Amino acid sequence: MSSTIEQSLSQAGLRATPRRLEVMRVLEASGEQHMTADDVYLGLAQKGVRLGVSTVYRVLAELEASGIVKRSQFGQPKARFKLSDGTAHFHMVAPGDGEIRAFDDSELSRRLQELAAELGYELLDMEVTLYVEPRRETDATRSRRDATEALGKRLGPI
């Protein structure tokens, strides 16, 4: 794992300083989670790494500028960061509970590339964020669900 982090830094023309390595390790450990700079700071503190918040922001800015880290706002005041894997993916954000879900859709990616080409552009990168909320059950969907459940009870196990 560490060698991958060091390779990423080297390929970006950055030295593998202890600060950069530690910030990247915290981001790597977060998996698919998008972290705020404060989240990274707390993750470092939990590991016993003493870096100031301003240093965390500066390192994240350097990593973002080099393309190692992807920054997203998601319509929120605080930016969120994630290690970049070099592929386009999309996000669904539920502002009500703050949940952020990343997803891939090759058909959507292909269609967006086609759209850019149709309009005379070459697509360099994309960031697509869908803002969603849980569906509210209507009387009609509740009635269908109740009818389906009742039918299932009458028919028994299949």
Above pLDDT 70, what percent of the chain? 85
d(CA 157, CA 113): 47
Domains 1-86 and 87-158 are alike in CATH topology? no
Can you give the pLDDT at residue 153?
Answer: 61
d(CA 79, CA 45): 20
d(CA 112, CA 45): 41
Reported as a pLDDT band with limits 50, 70 and 90, residue 158 is: very low
Reported as a pLDDT band with limits 50, 70 and 90, residue 2 is: low
Chain segment 52-110, per-residue pLDDT in tens:
999 999 999 999 999 899 888 877 778 889 888 767 778 888 888 878 888 888 888 89
For 87-158, the fitting CATH number among 3.40.190.10, 3.40.50.920, 3.30.1490.190, 3.40.50.2300 is: 3.30.1490.190
Q: What is the DSSP string of 50-117?
A: ---HHHHHHHHHHHHHTTSEEEE-TTSSS-EEEE--SS--EEEEETTTTEEEEE--HHHHHHHHHHHH
Q: Where are the domains of the chain?
A: 1-86, 87-158
* 93: β partners: 100, 131
User: Is the pLDDT at 154 greater than 60, yes or no?
Assistant: no
User: Is the pLDDT at 114 greater than 60, yes or no?
Assistant: yes
Q: Are 93 and 75 spatial neighbours (Cβ–Cβ below 8 Å)? A: yes
pTM: 0.67
For 1-86, the fitting CATH number among 3.40.50.970, 1.10.357.10, 1.10.10.10, 3.40.50.1370 is: 1.10.10.10
9-14, long-range: CB < 8 A, 24+ apart: 9/66, 9/68, 12/66, 12/67, 12/68, 13/66, 14/62, 14/63, 14/66, 14/68
- Residue 35 backbone dihedrals phi, psi, to 5 degrees: -105, 145
